[in-house]
Amino acid sequence: MAISITTAMPTSFKVEVLKATHNFSNPGGSTFKLALLKATAAGTGTYNATTTNYSDVTGNSDELPNGSGYTTGGNTLSSVTPVADSTTAVCDFADTSWTSATFTTCGGLIYNDSASDEAVAVLSFGGDQQVSSGTFQIQFPAAAAATAIIRIA
């Protein structure tokens, strides 16, 4: 069995937003991380809107292993305090990179390290993405009403 992943905002995250579980303020907010999954054929789990926690990934042993430019747990994301763009609330993260990296990954999970590792977003890379002795970067979109990575319209 292989990893099945679909870009989605976990349903649990939507509930947690209403429960004030997550704080995207910077400074003073939660610590968010982005963990990378293994190559599609190297894992077994299913990740989509039903994903609730980083432990879903670790429980399936689907995270990239330590080494070759990756540290388990993933990169800490630098969030930008949410603001309003017209009538939409938008949240942004600074782009994140893995340097001196050699790995193949099919997706990632943003989770809240300060709130019991609750899932924030499931990111599918549209297939396996490979990097060899190089830099692997995830670029987040502009923090605008039509584009921001996380927004409440």
Which of 32, 54, 111, 140 forms a contact with another protein (CB under 8 A)? Answer: 140
CB 92 within 8 A of CB 80: yes
The verdict on 84 binding another protein (CB under 8 A) reads no
Tell me which DSSP letter residue 152 carries: E
CB 109 within 8 A of CB 16: no
Residue placing its CB nearer to another protein in the complex, 57 or 106:
106
Q: Is 48 helix (H, G, I), strand (E, B) or coil?
A: coil
Q: How many residues does the structure list for the chain? A: 153
How many Cα atoms occupy the beta-carbon half-sphere of 4 within 13 Å? 6
Residue placing its CB nearer to another protein in the complex, 41 or 144:
144
CB of 116 to another protein, least distance (A): 20
Please give the full DSSP string across 61-111, using - where no structure is assigned. T-BPPSBTTB-TT-EEE-EEEEEEETTEEEEEE--EEEEEEEEEEEEEEEE
CB of 102 to another protein, least distance (A): 9
The verdict on 2 binding another protein (CB under 8 A) reads no
The verdict on 141 binding another protein (CB under 8 A) reads yes
Q: Which region among 39-47, 57-65, 71-79, 118-126 touches another protein (by CB under 8 A)? A: 118-126
CA–CA gap between residue 140 and residue 147 (Å, rounded):
9
Q: Which region among 25-33, 52-60, 66-74, 137-145 touches another protein (by CB under 8 A)? A: 137-145
Binding site for another protein (CB under 8 A): 7-9, 13-14, 17, 94-95, 97, 99, 101, 121, 123, 125, 129-144, 146-153
